[in-house]
């Protein structure tokens, strides 16, 4: 009976060791899971400095939806917005500011990656890469007098089934803060 216990423990140790060799670095980093954010007034400050943040919309809601005079500020080591109708939807006078210290901002969605309308402002500042992927719509869609800004010391990657960037009316999308802009 004692040998069986030793084998079991050995098997677990071996399996854990093997998995750690095959895993990506991100898989080993602890993650903070946050529910989708909806705000229509006031300020939402999320300070997860040093942590990796994941917001999953479960393919039912926007990961971050700000309207009215709401301001959403998020600081984290790494930010992933996934399974969202839109990763970020900002309208009216709303403002959304996402900042990563040293890693990426990643958006994976079926709809528009970033949708800014009216006078909304969306600012994404990454410590490394900004990666926006829309499987069925636009990467960034700015309408009205909205403003979207991307800042990354490495690459800003926008991959979309429709258009990577759509600017309507007097809206502006500023990618000049990206060291390299890749549109796929």
The pLDDT score that the predictor gives to residue 28 is 54
The pLDDT score that the predictor gives to residue 129 is 98
Q: List the pLDDT tens digit at each of the 184 positions of the chain.
A: 434 333 332 222 222 333 333 334 445 567 899 999 999 999 999 999 999 999 999 989 999 999 999 999 999 999 999 999 999 999 999 999 999 989 999 999 999 999 999 999 999 999 999 999 999 999 999 999 999 999 999 999 999 999 999 999 999 999 999 999 999 9
DSSP the chain: -HHHHHHHHHHHHHHHHHHHHHS-HHHHS-EEEE--EEESSSEEEEEEEEEEEEEE-TTTS-SEEE-TT-EEEEEEEEEEEEEESSSEEE-TT-EEEEEESSS-EEEEESS-SEEE-TT-EEEEE-SS-EEEEESSS-SEEE-TT-EEEEEEEEEEEEEESS-SEEE-TT-EEEEEEEEEEEE-
């Amino acid at each position: 009976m004692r040998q069986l216990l030793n084998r079991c423990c050995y098997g677990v140790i071996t399996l854990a060791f093997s998995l750690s060799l095959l895993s990506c670095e991100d898989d080993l980093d602890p993650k903070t899971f946050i529910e989708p954010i909806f705000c229509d007034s006031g300020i939402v400050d999320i300070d997860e400095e040093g942590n990796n943040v994941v917001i999953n919309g479960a393919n039912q809601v926007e990961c971050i939806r700000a309207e009215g005079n709401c301001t959403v500020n998020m600081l984290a080591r790494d930010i992933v917005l996934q399974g969202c109708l839109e990763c970020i939807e900002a309208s009216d006078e709303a403002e959304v500011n996402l900042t990563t210290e040293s890693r990426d901002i990643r958006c994976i969605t079926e709809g528009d990656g970033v949708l800014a309308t009216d006078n909304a402002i969306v600012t994404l500042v990454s410590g490394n890469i900004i990666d926006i992927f829309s499987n069925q719509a636009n990467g960034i869609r700015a309408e009205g007098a909205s403003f979207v800004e991307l800042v990354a010391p490495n690459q800003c990657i926008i991959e979309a089934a429709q258009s990577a960037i759509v600017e309507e009316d007097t809206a502006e999308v500023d990618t000049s803060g990206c060291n390299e802009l890749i549109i796929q």
